Structure formats: structure tokens, C-alpha cells
Structure 1
Amino acid sequence: MTKPNKNQREIGLLHWFTALFFVLFVTGIVPWLIAGIPPLLSQTLSLLHLVSGIGITGIFATYSFSHFQRTVGFRRASVIFVGGLLFFGFCYLIATGFALAYLGVVARYAWVFDSHNWIALLFSVLLIFHIGHHYFSFPQRRRAAVPSRFVTLDVAIIKPILVALLVAAGASVSLLFLDASIVSEDSQYADLHQQYSDDYGEHPFSPSLTQTASGKFVAQRDIAGSARCIECHQTIGEQWLASAHRHAANDPTYVRNINLLEQNKGISATRYCEGCHAPIALLSGTLTEGGQHGGVSGTVANQEGISCMSCHGMAELTGSEGVASYMFKERSNYLFEHSQIWPLSALNEQAIRLKPQLHSQELRPSVMGTSEYCGTCHTQFMDKSMNNWGWVKMQDELLAWAESKFNKPKDSRFSHPNNKQCQDCHMPMVQGHGMATDADGNIKSHYFVGANVALAKHFGNEKLFELTTEFLQRDKIELTIDPPEDKFAKQSDLFVSSDIRSQQKYPVGMYRGSTTQITLLLSNQGVGHHFPGGTIDLNEAWIDLKVYDGNQKLILTSGDLLEDGSIEQNATVYKEVAIDRYGKEVWRHDLFNMVGRSYVNVIPSGTTDIVEYEVAVPDWATSPLTITATLRFRKFNQRYINWVRQDQHLLSNPIVDIARDSISVPLLKTPSTHQSH
């Protein structure tokens, strides 16, 4: 058996290079040009494109070295020039191809994907030109000496092309068939109405308003498994892990309340809360007799809370009533979506990187950027099925936003190009890493920064605690002490020009032995809803007022904390007091007993609250008086957090000073009430 010579080896490499190039061309051009190609087939072709690219890389390196060695002495500059362009062009295709396989075909690197495609088309054109030009520019007298199989596409080169295309087609069919067999074995679920108890009506998830697109249970794997999402979305995942969304089910206050609800009304009633706090438990069908709610430690629902798919699986909204009024839809499967075998799971991850469009379209519905989207869980009511009384409106951040200046038309049914949505404040753009970054390397923050400093501190998330504190202190609420006017200031009947009058400021002063009114102005100019918002039966915001004389002797105080941590009774507090049917306070957040309110004090968005205090200035006070007012906030009132801590939860409850103002006022003697003549 004779050993093939160098020329024959080069021809063999050329044949297989051409064959793999045809596979690369077909698997690359078909998904690019045909928009309606089935997703699984498109993913399969992309994987074959990658595999073919890996295979052709080794052949290209060997063939290029051999080919350049043989042709370097040719004196046809145009052919050599085009050959050089082809070499560097193919190197660029290899580099960008591997980069896309590693980084993914994402927005930030769209230019890499676009250039890869256009250079591939240009390469194909130049390759045809190079072969044709090489053949026709070859001297006529030397053509006969060159083997025809080297300069023409004869049977010897067509054969490997056909073999490669047939292998590619067979691989595509095999992959699709294997994927179908895995899915069919692992996707059989019972109908909801056959297994879920109907204690709260025919609606399958009542009293929650949640629905599923299939009308069946959702497999736990289709709504849980957030750790897998973090593999491609690193920064987003790190932020979510620290967020209140992730801790929505293992929050000690929630655990205490959900246990209380189960004890009083049974596990079916916990569906009311779990549609928002633990969708994994609700949608996978565990909230029925024998099941476990999301407050149970160790369960997947408890560990993930509001998982990635809990929000990204909300395909549409079913209403604006809140209480989880959304429809959940499982995402479409990529190739080998549920395979546990390493090579197949690796192919699945690679398919997502190469074809993320399906992933992005399904998991980022247009409604996701609206305030209505957030309102599905941040709006709440209770009806007779829960409180045995009647319909009661509770928190409604959506309506509060709809009536604010941030909703230009003042109606949530319409959109306006200059609206500010919930996400604009609570999910600002920040720098990040991962496949979801935009062209500038930014992502939507998934810390969901709001007012819950307690959870951030409890779980040791110092970064989130700092961000939350800074968020609360960002001058969204302005506190101003209106200087008290000197009521004994002298007035003149002489003419004063309008320019001077417009700039006139009345003298500021207070008098010993008199009682003077101090006015505070609290303006909600930066919050897109009422302040405070959310669970205002638990939150506490209050004014801490202090008045000292020149020797730092205390003259007036309001808003002090007592020894037990509660706020003194004469303080101005912003909160809600919910009551039951007997008029007693529902202080444990057992909202299934709530039928109304005895007290509500909030500051609607875009409005100002005026608070007045009477200050009796003693005769012994020295000048000047220093008046200081601070708006303070804590997530939980003391009575409630003491009750939670009885359940052995060492829950933190830090206080944040949101706004502050201080003025100095001179003290004067009261002038004589009569004049001498």
C-alpha cells in the first residue's frame, strides 16, 4: 500500500474542508434567512454549525499551512491577495464563532454576530472568485499538467460533501428524536380539577386569582431552579439572592403569619398569600391536604420565594384586582431541557447561548415593563370567603401610582411616553455581567430596592441594606420647618415698592412666656405612590420633634421611643390601624380577620402634609431656640415584631432617618401692650 504524497494529502484536506464548509454554510444561512423555522430545528442547526466549525478549524490550519507552502512562489498577485483575504477572513470567522459560542448571541455583542454573518457571506463570494480566478488565470500550457481533480469540482469532492450533509441531516433527526423521547417521558401531569380541593370555589387556585395557561399543575422544575438561571445571569442572580423577592417565603414575619393562617383556616387558605409569596408551592399543587406551604423550612418554595420564573413566567395579566392576578405559562423547552445526562445538558446550555431569542421573547413579555405588572401582587383585597364578612380593599400601590403625577394620563388603562413606571425607581439600570446586559453592559437591578431594611439586615445583606437606606434618604420626602413669624413685628403705612414687597420676609422670633405654633411641611414629591406604602398596618413612619433652648435644655419633645420600643402616644405617626368585626385592632397582620380601618394616615404622591405643634416657651428659656424635626421609619411596629420574635426569630428592625430639618429661632421679650405719648 503506497503512502499518499503531499499533494494527495492536500487534496484530501481540501475535499473535507469543502464538505464541512457546505455544512457550515447550510446550517448558518437557513436559520438566518428563514424566520419561521421551528425553534428546536433552529437550535439543532446552530449546534451542528458549531460542531462543524470546530471540525473545520483543525483542517483549515493544516490545509492553509500546506497550501501556502506550495503556492508561495506563484507570481499571480491578485490570486495571492484574495487568498490572503480568505485566510484572515476565515480566522475572523473562527474567532467570532468561538466568541459567540462562549458569550452567547446577546445584545451587547450584536456587532460580533452581525459581522460574523456578513463576513461569512463575503468569504463565500471571495472563495468562489478565488477558485475561478485561480483556474482561469492559470497559464494554458500548464493546465494540462495540473490534475483536473485539483481545479474542478468532480466526483471526488462532491462525495464528501454529500456524506457530510447526510451526516448532518441524520444528526439533526437523531437529536430531535432523542429530545422528543425525553420530553414525552417526563411531562405527564394531572388536571387541577381532579386533585386540588375546591374549598374556595371553582377557580382552581382560589382564593388567589392565579391561573395557568395549561389549566394544569405546573411542574416544580418549570417554575423553580433559579440556580440554573444564575449560571448565565450572574449579576442579576447575585442581586436576586439578596432581595426581598427571594426571601418572600422565608421572611420570619411571613413564616409567622402563614402558620397563623394555616392554623386558623387550613392549608387551602394559604393559597391567598402563596400566589405572591411562594408561587412554587401554589402552582405545583402542594397547597392542599397533605401538602406544605412555602413557609416550611427546607422546601424549594421556602428557599426560592419569588423565583426567577415566578415573575418571568407571567405571560399575561388577568385583571387589576391584585392578589396574584396573573396567568403563568411554562417556557418552551430548548433541546434536552430536562436531561440530567451531562453531554445532553451541556448541549442544552449551548443551544440557549446560540439561540437566546426564544428565551428572551417568552420570558420578557411586553407587560413586564408596566406598573400593572407589579400591581398583580402589590394590590390586595379580602373578600367574604376569607374574612366571613365582605369585600375589603387593602393595599393598592397600583391605584396610588395611577393617581400620581408619575402617571401622566392619571389612568392606569392608558400609557403615556413620559410615564414613570414602578420599574424606573425600583429596578434602575446598573452595570452588570451576564447574557442579559444591553449594548452598554447594563442590566435592570434585581435588588428590587424599596423600604425593607429589616430583611436586608436580618439576612446579612449589607450591600442591600446600604442601598435601601440610601434609597429612603434620597429626598423623595421633603421635610421643612416653617419658621414662626414674629406676631409683634412692626408694620409701616408708608408706601413700599412692589419689588421690595415681593422680597419681604417677616421677622422670625418667639417670646418667653408665650405659646407659639410650629408648622412642619412633609412633601411627598419623589415617591410614586402613598408614603408610607405597602403593609402600612406593620410599617411605622413618624416625626421626632425636639425643641431646645440656648443652654440645650429640652423644652418640647414628640416622637420619642419608650423603654419597650414603642412610640409615645402623642407622636405624629403615618400608618394604618386595621380592625376586625368587633372594632379591635388586627395587629398581627391576620388580615383574614380585617373588615375595615379605624385610622389611616399617609401622604399621597405629589401632596404635602401639614403638621402643627404648640410650643409653650418657659420664662427661663435662653435664646436662641433650636427646633429639629426628623422623619423616621422602621419596617415593623414594636408590638408586631415582639410577637414575631416569640417564634424564636432574631429579626432585626433598624430605624432609618429619612428626612430632617433644623432651624434656630431667637427668643425675645414680649413688648409692652401700650404706647407712651
Structure 2
Amino acid sequence: MKSSFLPRRIGRLLVATLLGTSAACFIAALHTSTAYATNESPQTTQRHAYSQSTAEHYSYRFGAGQPFLPSFAATGNGEFIDPKSFPTAKYCGHCHQQAHDEWRQSAHANSFRTPWYTRNVNLLTQEKGVEFTRHCEGCHNPTALVSGALTKGSTVDRKFDEDGVTCSVCHSIQKTDTRGTGSYVLGQPAVLVDENGEPIYGEVSDKAILTHLDRHSQAVMKDFYRTSEYCSACHKAALPKQLNDYKWQRAIFLYDEWQQSSFSKQSPLPFYTKDTVSNCQTCHMRREELSLPDPGAKDGKLASHRWIGANTIMAKFYNYDVQFEKTVAFLRDNVFNIDIFGIEKNGGSMTAPLGTTPVTLKAGDTVTISTIIQNKGIAHSHVPEQRDMYESWVEFEAKDASGHVLSHSGALQANGEIDPRAHNFTNRLVNIRGGLNDLHQVWDTRVAAYNNTIPSGRSQIVRYQFRIPAGSRGPISITTRVNYRRFDQHFIDFAMQKQHYVQPVVVMASRTRTFQLGDNPAAAPDPADNPLWMRWNNYGIAMLDAQQYAESVRAFEQVAALRPDYPDAFTNVAIANFQWQRYDDSRTSLNKALALNPHSARALYYLALVERNQGNLDAAIANLREVAVQFPRSRDAHRELGFSYYQQHKYDEARAEYENVQGIDPDDLAAHYILSIVYRRLGMNDRAAHEAAMFADQKDDPTASTYALEYLRKHTEVANETVPWHTHSDLPVQPSTAKRDGTPAQ
């Protein structure tokens, strides 16, 4: 191919020089004769030539025929795609002015060029090599990946870097699956198809598109673009062994969290239910009124191509004022409910819920405040998993009437760092040296020392203890805030190569209660509070997640007393008792729930677990079947049903259920394990070996916890956060004697 291709290019150049505009006719004829001889279009011939030429100088670091690993991205025919084949965003913006204007300010458009991203990915290049960055660029810069630019000595013109994830990337994806890490198939871009539905490659005139809008839509739109599964291709990711030379590790799984949340309505297990289904696009592509012309709009509104999320620093850095304003509004849009719920005095029992229950305070009291923070507005965790350098934390402050600060946790220090004792919705990724991966070097990760992210629909309890000094004057005001900034100070200083770089801090939610010194009688419910039953319910959820099962049972029993017609109140009592391994008590509560709603899938699911734990497999299977009928996309129902069949040695039935699980989540660990056994017993040895290998790679490393223990031993100021039930005290804590990388201070 190479020897015949180069003379043809030279010939075209000579003809163009000698004949000027008439050369076009000659070249067209040459194209036609070549296509006729090879039964290929000129564009296909050119793509083959580009791909072959690129392959000759490409590093297949991860194996022949695997050009894009560690990303799961693929192209339609496995070949590289010439970056010139991608129409620019500016070209699309000729007509789609509104979409282009919004896209330019989005995280997609700026996915590669931001200094914090390039500094981080350059660390990977320096440490391991440019080939390893394919893992990142499959989602941050797909054009660089599929063009073959990510190889040592590449000569690809990378002017496309400025456009990041551009229009013609997203609108050329032919297929996705839910493995994530760039699990999409990218076709060669086309903005129009011919009368036979065949793609017309390259730029075409605006007039041609406007004349055939139906063919344009056929070329660039597919129904699955409107699904969360489409977004999962990148908004779910793993760290494979090819990247870290260690083992498979889950990085982020926003799709899975959404799929199991109340927003998707695909699972019976969330504590609350929604009236309607919301997917990724519902929240992140809300339809907005047009301010610029755009033929993609319907009824004067366009699905926003800003993809508003939580990237506050990007909008500030590039002076995208509208993007910033909308981002801040999005972060404050009913995401959290903060409930200053209870108070303990001098080591006594808790008085709660505050506001509707009388309490007496006096100077000299040592008080512990229990604050409940409910993630009610996000379909995934806050912050999403392994966003170790993102920063959202709780700030707590107590003051007396003279303004004297009695307690303050979560304040920003002089160097821009957050109080190390603050309750932070994050995790800490520890490397093989027992130090912190403080610059998001996820390829060096061995274990998360702890994970305080707050899942969708769940609540966390955060407790603060302080003393009201003698001589204090009331009232005492107590304020709790949930703060957010994009990056921790250490990372952003590294990224911007500037000490104490200032980035915006957004107060996502705030709540204040005041207490008189003396009697505080019960009052009417505060409109800022949830209904009384829900306050108890959120407290019960928080206690359940804090492994305080007795208190969780007590809280849910309060809900049942307030709402005796609410089946989930009794189911929640049963869940707490089940976690407490009190199976008979759990059954009693589940029977009460089913008496109110005989077809409650949530109650039936937990009753099935009780039945199985007590040896009643047939009853468990009957209940799980009903749950799976009501919720065919419930991975939990299929997994537990499959395990029940497995216990009965019904291997065909078990196989079917675990394959259903893998249809929802291809990386479900239990499915890998059980299928490795089931396939072998069914004589399917090749498939058994594959599942066994996947399980071996993806299971937890039993030695990894030693890295976390080593880190926490050196960083006592954060060790408190690893304990499910703990208190933040205003007593001073000795500073750590270790540096951020884990080595002792000199």
C-alpha cells in the first residue's frame, strides 16, 4: 500500500501545479478509477493509507491489535482515524450557534487543555510513558487517541487539543457499553448520509445539510445518546493492570450509582422513591431558552450543551461568567438538607429533634451536636468515587452573643489548606510507599485509606463537641455548612505552579440554629426542616451507615409511630435488625410492611434474605422472582436470586441470573466468582477460566490494608475519619510529624 500510495500523492501535487483548477477533474477521475478497481470509496482508501502509515510508527505497548489500551475505546473497523476527518466545532457552529456557545464553556470542550489536567497527565507520561496516557485520553481527548497521536515521536498535528471532546466525537459514537473507561465505538465522522443511508464523509455545505435535515439527523443522532448508558462510557472508569502494574481497581462509577439510586427507578432498595425517572441528561442537559439561533431547538428550547456540573474553577479560569453563575446555582439547587438534629449535654442522652423538643443549656455545659446531612438532590455520591483531589467538607461554627467563637471546624487555614480535622466528603488514596497520592497519581494507588463520600439518597451524621465557657452570654448560634471547591490547595498549587492559588469556594447548603442559655421550649416545626417523620428517617439512615444498629432501630420505630400507614418505616426497622443479625425481629417488621403493601418489592427483597439465612431457599426464591419481575434491572435481585439457585445446585438457573447481572454491570465481582464455578460445572471450561481470571484480577488485595494502616499511623489527624461513629472535638490535636508523601518530617 505504501509504495503505491506515495507516487499517487506526488502525482496529484504535480498535476495541481501544472493544470491549476483543472487538476480537480483529473484527481476526481483518479479517485473514481481507484475506487472502481478496489471496490472502495476514495475516503476509505485514504483512511486505510493513513491507518497503515500511522501503524508503522506506533507503539503497540499493550499488545498487537490493541492500539487503544488501557482505554476501552475502539473504532468501527479497528483502524486509526485521520484527525482531519473530524469536522471542527467551529464548523458545526455555523448553524448550531447556541450549542456551540454553550459547548465552548463546558468541561467537555476544555477536557484536555486545562493546566490542572495537563500537569497531572504529564506526571503519568514522565513516570511511565505517553502510551499509558491512552487510559486518560480515551475520554479527555478521543481524537488524539484514535488518530494514533499518543505514541513516542508522533508527528500528528494536534491543533484539535483545544477542542477536547468536540461535537464530532460525541456525535460519531456508534455503540457503548457500561464497562466505562472509554467503552465506546467511534465511527468516522459524517454530518450527512446519502439517499441510501450511507455516510458522506468530510465537510459538506450548510446548504446541503439544511436541504436534507432528516439525513443530517440520521448521521449525527442516535436514540441511545439520550440514555445514561451512553454517558457511562466515560463517566465510569477503572484502573486496569496495564496502567498500574498491580491489579484492576474501580475508579469512578457514577453510572452504577445512578442505576441503583431512586432517580433511575430501576432498584427497589433506595430509602426514598421519586415520582419520575431522571437520567444523566435530565440533570446535566436541562432544556433552556434560546439566546442564539439553533435549528436543534424544539419549541424554542435546546438541551443545554454546558453539561453543568461542579467544575467551578474552569469557568473562573477562562472567565466564562455565565458558566460560573450556572454552576454555582446548580450546586445550590436543593442538593443537601442540613438538619441540626440533636444535642447531648455532659455525656448524657441525646435530646432530639431540636426545635420541636425542649432543651435547657447553661454556661459550663459540654455539648455534642449531631448534624444530619442528607444527599437528596444528586443521583450519585458526593463527591464521586476516587475524586481524591476534589474537596467538599463540613464547616461547623458555634458562637455566643458577643461573637466569641466557641468551636470552629472546617476553617480554611492561612496557607489555603482546610483544617485537617474537618469532616471531608472525600477519600484518601494511599500508594505502595504508605504515602498519599497527593497529586492524583491514581496509577500508583494501592488502597483508599477511608471513604467519606455520601451516597445518593443517604444521610451522614457529623458530631461536634465543645464546651460553653463560664461567663458566656446567650443566645448561642450554631451553624453548619457544606462547602465545595474543585481541588484541594496542595493539588491546585501544583497544577497552577503558584503558591496559595485562590479558587472559588461555594457554600452549597447552610443551616443555623440558636439556643438561649436557659430554657428553650418546643416550638412549631421550622419550614426549613424536613417533616418530623423524615427527620427521624434520615437520622435512622445515618445511624445504620454508622453501624449504630440499636439507635437506627429506635429511629425507624419513631417513623413507624408517626406514620403507621407507611410500609417502608417497618421495612427500615427490619433492615437495621437484619444488619444487627436479629433475623426474627426483622421478619416481624417485614410482615407488618407486607400487611400494608403485599407486593412491596423492597420488603420482599429483605424477607428473601431473611428466609435464606434461616434455610428457606424455596421461599427466598419465590420472593426474589417477584422482585425481579417488578424491577427487571435490579442487579441486587438477580444476584441474590442467582446465589439462591446456586445453593440449590440449579446451575442453569444460576447462570441465567448472574448473566443478567453482568448485563447491567459487566464488572460485578460476585458474578465473576459464581460464574467461574457454574460454567465449569456446566462444562463451559473456557468461559469458566475467563471469569476466574476476571475475579482474580478484580477481587480485593488482602494485603492492601497494610498501606492504609501505615498512612493512618503517621497521620493521626485524619485517622478519626475512618471510624464510622466518631466525634469532632474542639480540643487541640497535635500536628502530624509526617509529610504529605508519608516520609517523616526532618
TM-score, normalised to structure 2, is 0.59
Confirm or deny: 8 A CA contact 2:345 2:366 kept in the other structure: no
Q: CA 1:242/1:467 → structure 2, altered by over 3 Å: closer, same or farther?
A: same
What SS does structure 2 have at the residue aligned with 1:393?
A: strand
Find the counterpart in structure 2 of residue 310 from structure 1: 169
1:286 maps to which of 133, 149, 154: 149
Partner of 1:300: 159
Does the C-alpha gap of structure 1 residues 333 and 400 become closer, same or farther in structure 2, counting only changes over 3 Å? Answer: closer
**For residues 560-581 of structure 1, what are the alpha-carbon distances to aligned partners after superposition, in whole Å with 9 as ceiling and x for unaligned?**
1111111112211111111112
Higher relative contact order (CA 8 A, sep 6+): 1
Q: Classify the secondary structure of the residue corresponding to 1:592.
A: helix
Query: Structure 1 residue 407: deviation in Å?
Result: 1.5
Matches within 5 A, 1:653-672: 653-668=503-518
Tell me which residue corresponds to 1:46.
none
**Structure 2: distance between partners of 1:307 and 1:553:** 53
Does the 8 Å CA contact 1:575/1:600 hold for their aligned counterparts? yes
Q: How does 1:163-312 map to 2 (within 5 A)?
A: 183=43, 187=47, 188-191=49-52, 195-202=57-64, 203-291=66-154, 299-312=158-171
Q: 1:185 to 1:198 in 2, by over 3 A?
A: closer
2:181 to 294, 299, 323: 323
212-221 or 274-283: which moved more? 212-221
Partner of 1:640: 491
Which amino acid in the other structure matches residue 626 of structure 1? S
CA contact (8 A) 2:389 2:491 kept: yes
Give, as a single letter, the amino acid of the residue that structure 2 aligns with 1:441: G
Q: Is the 8 A contact 1:485 1:507 kept in 2?
A: no
Determine which of 324, 339, 347 is the counterpart of 1:480. 339
Q: Using a 3 Å threshold, how does the CA distance of structure 1 residues 511 and 651 change in structure 2: closer, same or farther?
A: closer
After alignment, is 249-258 or 506-515 more displaced?
506-515
Unaligned runs of 5+ in 2: 1-27, 36-40, 521-746
Q: 1:538 to 1:224 in 2, by over 3 A?
A: farther
Question: Could you tell me how far apart the structure 2 residues matched to 1:313 and 1:632 are?
Answer: 38
The answer to whether the 8 Å contact 2:110/2:162 transfers is: yes
2-side partners of 1:397 and 1:304: how far apart?
24
More displaced, 188-197 or 303-312? 188-197
Give the 3 Å change call, closer, same or farther, for CA 631–585 of structure 1 in structure 2: same
2:481 and 2:509 in contact (8 A); partners too = yes
Task: Note if contact 1:579-1:585 (Cα within 8 Å) is conserved in structure 2.
Answer: yes
Offset at residue 487 of structure 1 (A): 9.8
> In structure 1, what residue type is equivalent to 2:278?
K
The structural deviation recorded for 1:526 is 0.6
Aligned partner of 2:442 in structure 1 is 591
Q: Which aligned pairs between 1:515-664 and structure 2 lie closer than 5 A?
A: 515-533=366-384, 536-646=387-497, 653-664=503-514
Q: Distance in 2 between matches of 1:278 and 1:411?
A: 37
C-alpha contact 2:106 2:323 (8 A) present in aligned 1: yes
Name the aligned partner's letter for residue 106 of structure 2: S
State the alpha-carbon separation in 2 of the partners of residues 304 and 179 from structure 1: 34
Cα 1:269–1:583 shift into 2, 3 Å: same
Summarize the Cα distance change of 1:651–1:668 in structure 2 as closer, same or farther, 3 Å threshold: closer
Between stretches 461-470 and 393-402, larger displacement belongs to 393-402
Give the stretch that moved more between structures: 610-619 or 402-411: 402-411
What are the residue-to-residue correspondences of 1:116-195 with 2, within 5 Å?
Answer: 183=43, 187=47, 188-191=49-52, 195=57
Structure 2 counterpart of 1:399: 256
What code does the residue aligned with 1:286 have? A
* Counterpart residue type for residue 181 of structure 2: V
Using the alignment, how far apart are the partners of 1:633 and 1:407 within structure 2? 26
The answer for the alignment partner of 1:25 in structure 2 is none
Q: Deviations over 1:272-316 (max 9, x none)?
A: 1111001111111111121279xxxx9323211111112111110
SS at match of 1:190: helix
Q: Secondary structure at the match of 2:277?
A: coil
Residues 362 and 669 (structure 1), Cα distance of their counterparts in 2 relative to 1, 3 Å cut: closer
Choose 178-187 or 439-448, whichever is displaced more.
Answer: 178-187
Match of 1:611, SS?
strand
Q: Does 1:353 align with 2:353?
A: no
- Counterpart of 2:402, as a letter, is N
Matched-pair contact (CA < 8 Å) for 2:190–2:201: no
Q: Return closer, same or farther for 1:184/1:448 CA change in 2, 3 Å cut-off.
A: closer
Partner amino acid, structure 2, of 1:423: Q
2:638 aligned residue = none
Larger Rg, first or second structure (1 or 2): 1
Structure 1 segments unaligned to the other structure (5+ residues): 1-172, 490-501, 671-677
Tell me the distance in 2 between the aligned counterparts of 1:479 and 1:329.
47
CA distance in 2, matches of 1:535, 1:392: 10
Residue 183 of structure 1 deviates from its aligned partner by 4.5
SS at 1:531's partner residue? coil
Task: Pick from 459, 462, 466 the counterpart of residue 318 of structure 2.
Answer: 459
Deviation at 1:331, TM superposition (A): 3.6
Q: After the TM superposition, which of the residue ranges 436-445 and 585-594 deviates more from structure 2?
A: 436-445
What is aligned with 2:302?
Answer: 443
Match of 1:517, SS? strand
Does 2:286 align with 1:423?
A: no
1:488 Cα offset (Å) = 13
- 3-state DSSP of counterpart to 1:520: strand
1:360 CA displacement:
1.2
Provide the rounded CA distance (Å) in 1 between the counterparts of 2:86 and 2:78: 15
Native 8 Å contact 1:208 1:272 kept in 2: yes
Provide closer, same or farther for how the CA distance between residues 567 and 486 of structure 1 changes in structure 2, counting only shifts above 3 A.
Answer: closer
Cα drift, residue 396 of structure 1: 1.0
Q: Deviations over 1:47-71 (max 9, x none)?
A: xxxxxxxxxxxxxxxxxxxxxxxxx
% identity of equivalent residues = 29
* Counterpart residue number, 1:116: none
Q: Which residue matches 1:121?
A: none
In the TM superposition, what whole-angstrom CA distance separates every residue of 1:543-591 from its partner, at most 9, and x where no partner exists? 1111111111111111111111111122111111111123211111111
The answer for the alignment partner of 1:370 in structure 2 is 227
Confirm or deny that 1:384 pairs with 2:241. yes
Between the aligned partners of 2:219 and 2:242, the Cα distance in structure 1 is 35
How many pairs align? 470
